[in-house]
Amino acid sequence: MKKTIKYPFTLRQIKELRAGDLVRLSGSVFTGRDRLHKFLAEGGQPPEDMQASAIYHCGPVVVRDSGKWLIKAAGPTTSIREEPYMAGIIENFGVRVIIGKGGMGAATCAACKRYGCVYLQAAGGAAALQARGVRTVENVWFLKEFGATEAMWKLDVKGLDMVVGIDCHGNNLYDEVRHHSDMRLKEFLND
Amino acid sequence: MNLVEILIELIRRTTSDLPPDVEHGLRRARAAEIDDSRAALMLDAIITNVEIARRDSVPMCQDTGTLTFYFSVPAGADCVRLESAACEAVRCATARGLLRNNTIDALSGSSIDSNVVEGDAPVCIFRYHEAREVTVHLLQKGGGCENVSCQFALPDETLRAGRDLEGVRRCLLSAVHKAQGYGCAPGVLGVCIGCDRAGGYKAAKEQLLRPLDDESSVPELAALERKILKDADELGIGAMGMGGRTTLLGVKITAHTRLPASYFVTVAYMCWACRRHAVRIADK
């Protein structure tokens, strides 16, 4: 059964989620990749308040069509690249949801627990489906400085299906899967 | 259609239309999972995505990848013209939103919005063949899976991998384990045994052009392909590394010559979005 969450994300909503839960998310999300994370971690200020928001590790395919932005593809990128910056961003800007793929490290996991944040795994590469879930492009910042892929887009999304990878109770699904595969690998290499 | 239009159409198909053998592999992986499981949710999203991308002619993944054109040409073909047509096709496809602005100047970090730097991007590989027409295979491989591709130099002490097929087996399982879900599992392994380092990566990547039901004509390699495919699933990594029953969709291995001093095993990990198509261009 899927749990539904909606922006703005309350601490109560976040606390109800457990690693492994299936989640359907709606509302505003900010996209951000390597350039934005580095910028924010080095003291840059977000152009809009990010309290109780979601940050989506995503560099969309965007085209401009008669004065409007159209999102053609918007799947998650590998999150672990943002590991050096993520915990600080959660702490400083009150982000409550991270969306990406592949999971994140110990520092992010600790920050999720400490400040009340979750990490959601979107289906990697399912960019056409996720683009269809984007209802409108609400805004874009750093388009010139970072380029369209790395820019900070504010998207209004509807019904994105995801899995809780890291919850705010200290559980990390990726660690469980890795641990299981470690044991199996050892068996394979010892026979 | 002129040459550029033919190549734009090849890009459109490759970026938006997952080959049927790969889609079949995904559907089989989905059928093996329990409804309402994490792996099922991931695979359902992936399969729906494949259908939407094909129907709407939009990229199935926003990382439209490194474009590699493999040209097989008759003797005397005008390769300069073919390469510049490929560049022009990439330019047009990017402007139409079939490809993302996906090329970065490694030194300055700035975006090269056209995705074209002649002689550099897209990658064009030429080889001669007997036939009179030109055949073009296009492969689009994204950065997430490229980041988990790897190379081993045997013997490898930590893996206890020697210079034999048992050593190769240990390398391949270790590579799949290390990749976890980062390469967008369930993926495909292209593998080269032998060559020098550069040749190993090139040959391993080219294995990804083989259909998933294609078995190596070398019996011991075919057996290894089957064994790795089965054992990788038992690692339990599953779709996107969330745990599940299918970790790989295919394993394709080739063996080449090597120097007496070197024994490389090179792994090209391809995500589930194994984007490859081909087109034949008749004379003129």
Question: Minimal CA–CA distance to B179: which of A59, A130, A174?
Answer: A174
Assess contact for A111 and A87: CB atoms under 8 A. yes
Residue A167: its pLDDT value, please?
98
Cβ distance A125 to B63 less than 8 Å, yes or no, reads yes
| Residue of A75, A126, A177 with shortest CB distance to B241 | A177
Give me the total of CB pairs closer than 8 Å, taking one residue from chain A and one from chain B: 170
Q: Which of A37, A57, A169, A179 is catalytic?
A: A37
Q: What would the mean pLDDT of A118-122 be, rounded to a whole number?
A: 97
Residue in chain A closest to B147 (alpha carbons) equals A78
Residue A1's pLDDT is what?
80
Distance CA A29, CA B71 (A): 43
The average pLDDT across B115-139 equals: 96
The gap between the terminal CA atoms of chain A, to the nearest Å, is 40
DSSP A9: P
**Nearest CB neighbour to A129, from listed B48, B144, B160:** B48
DSSP category for residue B2: -
Instruction: Tell me what pLDDT residue A41 has.
Output: 95
Chain A 107-126, CB below 8 Å of chain B: which residues? 121-126
Nearest to A18 by CA among A169, A161, A162: A169
Joined together, the tokens standing for residue B108 give 């300055």
Q: Is the pLDDT of residue B110 over 90?
A: no
- Tell me the pLDDT band of B283, cut-offs 50, 70 and 90: low
**Binning pLDDT at 50, 70 and 90, where does residue A45 land?**
very high
Q: What is the CATH number of domain A2-190?
A: 3.20.130.10
pLDDT of residue B284: 58
Question: Tell me, what's the pLDDT at A65?
Answer: 87
- H helix intervals, A42-151: 83-93, 106-115, 127-132, 143-150
Tell me whether residues A72 and B64 touch, CB distance under 8 A: no
* Chain mean pLDDT for chain B: 96
* Across A76-105, average pLDDT: 96
Half-sphere exposure of B122 (CA within 13 A, CB side): 34
Residues ≥6 apart with Cβ < 8 Å to B57: B12, B16, B98
pLDDT at B102 over 90: yes
What ipTM is given for this predicted complex? Answer: 0.89
pLDDT at B207: 98
Query: Where do the domains of chain B lie?
Result: 144-270
- Considering only CB atoms, A181 lies closest to which of B16, B184, B235, namely B235
Task: Supply the mean pLDDT for chain A.
Answer: 95
pLDDT at B109: 86
Write the pLDDT tens digit of every residue in A162-191. 999 999 999 999 999 999 999 999 999 986
Contact A181 B237 (CB under 8 A): yes
Chain B partners within 8 Å of A150 (Cβ): 111
Residue B274 confidence (pLDDT) above 80: yes
| Closest residue by Cα to residue B181 from A117, A189, A159, A104 | A104
Question: Is B26's pLDDT higher than 90?
Answer: yes
Looking at A69-73, B87-91, B210-214, B220-224, which range is the least confident one?
A69-73
Active-site residue A179, yes or no? no
CA–CA separation, B79 vs B237, rounded Å? 43
CB atoms B181 and A178 under 8 Å? no
Q: Is the pLDDT of residue A160 over 80?
A: yes
Among A140, A188, A190, A191, most B C-beta atoms within 10 A, so best to mutate, is: A188
Segment B110-127 shows an average pLDDT of 95
Residue A140: predicted pLDDT: 97
Q: How far apart are CA B138 and CA A97, in angstroms?
A: 38
The shortest C-alpha distance from B273 to chain A (Å) reads 7
